[in-house]
Chains A and B, each alone.
Chain A
Amino acid sequence: MSSLALPKAEPTAGTARGPARPRRTALVPTVTLLLGALYCLLPVAWVVIASTKSGSELFSTFTFWPGTGFADNLSDLGAYRDGVYWQWMGNSALYAGAGALLSTCVSAFSGYALAVYRFRGREALFNVLLAGVLMPPVILAIPQYLLLAKADLTDSYLSVLLPQILSPYGVYLARIYAAAAVPTDVVEAGRMDGAGEWRIFSRVALPMMVPGLVTVFLFQFVAIWNNFLLPYIMLSDDEKFPITLGLHTLLEQGANTPALYTLVITGAFLAVFPLVALFLVVQRFWSLDLLSGAVKS
């Protein structure tokens, strides 16, 4: 820990005059965190500023000085191939929204089942899933393509949605969360009161699992939103492309055509907004700790 390197804080003068002042801000951790924040935010700032520059300003003016071309960039982007950019944005929203929702449902069911029920092979199943967490999805893209090609599903919306529904990490997270948040006592109490298993899950356990499921949803949403290789392999029709793929085609226009940097940068800038909005909206669910007082400890 970097704070250990700090000299011990001297007892602050003037404590007698009032309540003890809070400990002096630890300098090293603060600076480290500030640097980290800068490191993360600088590229974002670059994108924001670069998106305001016109093509001739992009590489010739000072990096962090805003340009004058934002409106033009925006209308150029909207005009590219008759507004296909907005189509990409919609596609991304569909893939990420529907995909994350379905994936969260699957994770909730399986996570709950793995946490609450005892059955033969439970641990083996869970370990297989854990192994799935370690497997980078990139490796699976080609086999998934070949499989879906057999079912004649390539180059369709389903071809991108289906493979993303089962998320080993989501199941893992849901199981861990269900094990911690849904006490066995509550499930037992439900059974005593004559509730069916489905009712216990949907009425009692599910609300308790919400904060965990929100996390699963967000993880999946971001993962699908940023996914490149799977849609790259699956799709050939650029009207079905998500935003990542669409922007890639703007960059790779062939050797004799310059990359459309200003459009790509503006496009990337706009693509950040849905994610930011999602985080702001969903954030409040995290603080919910619904039934933490339901069982006496």
Chain B
Amino acid sequence: MPYTKRRRLVSSAVAVALGATALAACGSSSDDGEARSGPVSLTYWTWTPGMDKVVDLWNKGPGKKEQITVTVKKQASGDTLVTKILTAHKAGKAPDLVQAEYQALPTLVSNDALADIGDTVGDVKSKFAEGVWQQTTLGTDAVYAVPQDIGPMMFYYREDLFKEYGLSVPATWEEFAETARELKRKAPDKDLTTFSANDSGLFAGLAQQAGAQWWTTSGDKWKVGIDDDATKKVAEFWGGLVKEGAVDNQPMYTPAWNKALNTGKQIAWVSAVWAPGTLTTAAPDTKGKWAMAPLPQWGDGESSTGSWGGSSTGVTTDSKNKEAAARFAAWLNTDGDALNALAKEGGIYPASTSAQLSGAFMSPPEYFANQPDFYKKAAAIAETTAPSAWGPNVNVAYTTFKDAFGAAAKNKSDFTAALDTMQRDTVADLKKQGFGVAE
């Protein structure tokens, strides 16, 4: 995206100024037991469009009864928001509630910015898929956030062009590669898709599907597995396709990419459940010509997917009303009306399983009117989401990914070497931050 440079500049400037803080291991004290008297007002940093309207439902409904008023302060999303929250936390001024992407949770928790709200929200666990909930506990007994939206990955393709070229929808990655080659033979100027290095979330999701565990803990040490066998397999697969020219190597989200999708130069896209929104603006002329299928699998008969995107609602340690904030977070992400409004106003795909087939999700997205069971399929795919394992410096891994894989894709060079760089830099940064790292 065009602001990437500035974003990096901002985050590195902020990081430099903050200085590398030695971080304590996960875990923070919570003082939920405090007695509350009188009305409470909470502030909430979020980037979801239309969140103020959803919060109005709370303020006029359950919030009024409980005398808890929430004020939305709309923010820009991205890594810089994490840095902003940490800066505010340093001054003891973080808002009561924050929206945070799943991969940012370990960073926030290791800086002691998020409170354990397990006592208040523990009983909503059943509303979410196991793999989704696990991301908010970080494998501990604590609960640091309530899942809001998820981005299960899927395979999108041009139904009409697949028919025209006699291609079938690939069920495995092997077939995917074959499909890409077959298309090249039949229409050399077209590409099945592109390998893009400008959004690390895509690669992380693909690795997650293959079973990668990038960050794990052993004892009180972090273990970084970015170069594990699963990730290597994914990197080699895409590196091979790029090298032989079976898929394109141009980045996504550029005007050229939009054009390639809109004109049918690229006829498929490995994306996530939110793709209809992106396609609506990127490829407006091809509305109704796309279809969605599960992601290709690594083995026959398997069914698993990765996630790309998604976020949660957390309560900060700076909040003076943690229990009230946690109650709001639970309502926001499990109440039927709230989720309906979130889907309508904010265009999110809810993490709560019961909401995935109700209300706004009974009919397909407008762009996919040709696929009436879009959301039914999506819910089934979401259930197969592989567990993910995030660590406290995902941002560093992501930045190195963009640099190393961006160069590798451009030069069509070795992806494994790029992966090694990513592993090395991530480990080095963890050590620099003062974490114990198991080799």
Q: Would you give the 0/1 interface string for A251-272, flagging 1 where the beta carbon is closer than 8 Å to chain B?
A: 1111111110100000000000
**Least distance between B22 CB and chain A CB atoms (Å):** 18
Bound Cα distance from A149 to B318, whole angstroms: 13
B328 at interface, CB cutoff 8 A: no
Q: Which residues of B contact A248 (CB under 8 A)?
A: 3, 76
Chain B hits for A261, CB < 8 A: 281
B93 touches A154 (CB 8 A): yes
How many angstroms between the C-alpha atoms of A149 and B262 in the bound complex?
49
B76 pairs with A249, CB closer than 8 A: yes
A105 contacts B by Cβ under 8 Å: no
- In Å, the complex CA distance between A56 and B285 comes to 8
What residue in chain A is nearest B10 (Cβ atoms)?
A229
- Our pick among B3, B17, B43, B92 for the contact of A236 (Cβ within 8 Å) is B43
CB < 8 Å: which of B52, B93, B262, B278 contacts A60? Answer: B262
Question: Are A60 and B258 in contact, CB atoms less than 8 angstroms apart?
Answer: yes
Residues of chain A lying within 8 A (CB to CB) of residue B76: 245, 248-249, 251-252
Q: A143 — which chain B residues lie within 8 A by C-beta?
A: 17
Q: Contact between B281 and A238 (Cβ–Cβ < 8 Å)? A: no
Contact digits for A221-252, partner B, Cβ 8 Å, 1 yes 0 no: 00000001100110011100000010011011
B348 & A60 in contact (Cβ 8 Å cutoff): no
Q: Which of A44-91 contact B (CB under 8 A)?
A: 55-56, 58-60, 81
Task: Name, among A56, A138, A146, A255, the residue most crowded by chain B CB atoms within 10 Å (CB to CB).
Answer: A255
Q: Nearest chain-A residue to B255 (Cβ)? A: A59
B432 at interface by CB-CB < 8 Å: no
Q: Are B95 and A236 in contact, CB atoms less than 8 angstroms apart?
A: yes
Name the residue on B nearest A255 (C-beta). B309
Tally of B interface residues using CB under 8 Å? 57
- Judge whether A228 and B10 touch: CB under 8 Å: yes
Q: Is there an interface contact between A139 and B6, defined as CB atoms closer than 8 Å?
A: no
Of A60, A229, A254, which is within 8 A of B47 by CB? A254
Give the distance to chain A from B43, nearest Cβ to Cβ, in Å: 7
With both chains docked as a complex, state the minimum distance between the C-beta of B47 and any C-beta of chain A, in angstroms: 5
Taking the closest CB of chain B, its distance from the CB of A42, in whole angstroms, is 16
Residue numbers of B with Cβ under 8 A of A are 1-3, 6, 10, 13-14, 16-18, 43, 45, 47-49, 52, 73-78, 80, 84, 87-88, 90-93, 95, 101, 149, 151, 201, 255, 258-259, 262, 272-274, 277-278, 280-282, 284-285, 308-311, 346-349
The chain A residues found within 8 Å of chain B, CB to CB, are: 55-56, 58-60, 81, 138-139, 141-143, 145-146, 149-150, 154, 228-229, 232-233, 236-238, 245, 248-249, 251-259, 261
Q: Could you list 22 A-B pairs, sorted by A, with CB under 8 Å?
A: A59-B255, A60-B259, A141-B13, A143-B17, A228-B10, A229-B10, A229-B13, A232-B84, A233-B14, A251-B76, A253-B47, A253-B77, A254-B77, A254-B311, A255-B308, A256-B274, A256-B347, A256-B349, A257-B274, A257-B346, A258-B277, A258-B282
